[in-house]
Amino acid sequence: MTSLVLLNEHTCFGGVQRFYEHASEQVGLPMKFSVFVPPQASQGPVPVLFYLAGLTCNEETFMIKGGAQRLAAELGMLLVAPDTSPRGAGIAGESDAWDLGVGAGFYLDATQAPWSAHYRMESYITDDLLPLVLQSFPARAERVGIFGHSMGGHGALTLALRHRELFRSVSAFAPIAAPALCAWGQKAFNHYLGSDPSSWAEHDASALMRQLQTPFPQGILIDQGLADKFLAQQLLPQEFEAACQQANQPLNLRRHAGYDHGYYFISTWMEDHLRFHHRLLST
């Protein structure tokens, strides 16, 4: 397993907030991620919760803006946040648009050149980062949850559904719930996966859910702001809601008047999500 390079660390609520870089075998480039280690980890392994950030974000965004460390320290949960894409892949145009390329990896393994050489975010998280975290930190391998926001909410839902053996709990804030049906998802899928929509369904949470029966019997939590400017055209939570009904999947989809797409919204409901995961990861 590759070694970690500690970039910086900060004492925080009795625990420690750290930022790391390491060489990723799956991506083929250095990758960065952040970890909050709660004080309880000094006494033994604790549950671990992965957070996947949205478009334009990086490994710092959640730890700075999410307001999660105080409660994670109280509950004894290890928090992990990876970057949102490879950096420095050298692909022509990869930084030209905010919704494709750098900062927009969509948490899948690209199959189309030139993206396929390095844009392997699904394998990075499941085959590189998760094993690295379990080896390097006092984390309980059988108590791993995942959540995220927007593009990261898409990633959390799809990775949880595709790797149910790895993730015990899943939730999301304003996820791109049916990417095959919206402009963000169609643009990314065309470039990363090719023009055949049949390949897109494997990375669309609503399409995946329709193929399953009660994959998470203890429930899925989603929060969505009704003042979110992306709600009608890009997020489409009603598609995932309908898919869950078809799959007999318990879903708590909470719609909040007045809340938009940003971290003021996310931080408002962060405690509910941490307690949701703590309940499922502690039993």
Instruction: Give 27-40 pLDDT, tens digit per residue.
Output: 999 999 999 999 99
Q: What is the pLDDT of residues 182-193, one digit of tens each?
A: 999 999 999 999
Q: Over the stretch 55-85, which tens digit does the pLDDT of each residue have?
A: 999 999 999 999 999 999 999 999 999 999 9
Inform me whether the pLDDT recorded for 217 exceeds 60. yes
Is residue 196 within 8 A of residue 222, CB to CB? The reply is: no
Q: Tell me 127's DSSP state.
A: I
- Which residue reads 């980062």 in tokens? 129
Instruction: Identify the burial level of 27 via C-beta atoms within 10 angstroms of its C-beta, where 0-12 means exposed, 13-18 middle and 19 or more buried.
Output: buried
Nearest to 180 by CA among 127, 108, 228: 108
List residues bridging with 100 in a β-sheet: 97
Identify the pLDDT of residue 2.
61
Q: Which residues pair with 145 in a beta bridge?
A: 49, 169
Mean pLDDT for the stretch of residues 47-57: 98
Catalytically active residues, by annotation: 150, 228, 261
**DSSP annotation of 81:** E
* Residue partners of 165: CB distance under 8 A and separation at least 6: none
Token pair of 274, please?
A: 């941490």
Average pLDDT over residues 12-16: 98
Name the percent of the chain lying above pLDDT 90.
Answer: 99
State both tokens at 34.
Answer: 């952040």
Per-residue pLDDT, 1: 47
In angstroms, the CA 254 to CA 241 distance is 11
Provide the whole-model pTM. Answer: 0.98
For 108, the enclosing helix (H) or strand (E) is: none
Residue 206 has pLDDT above 90, yes or no: yes
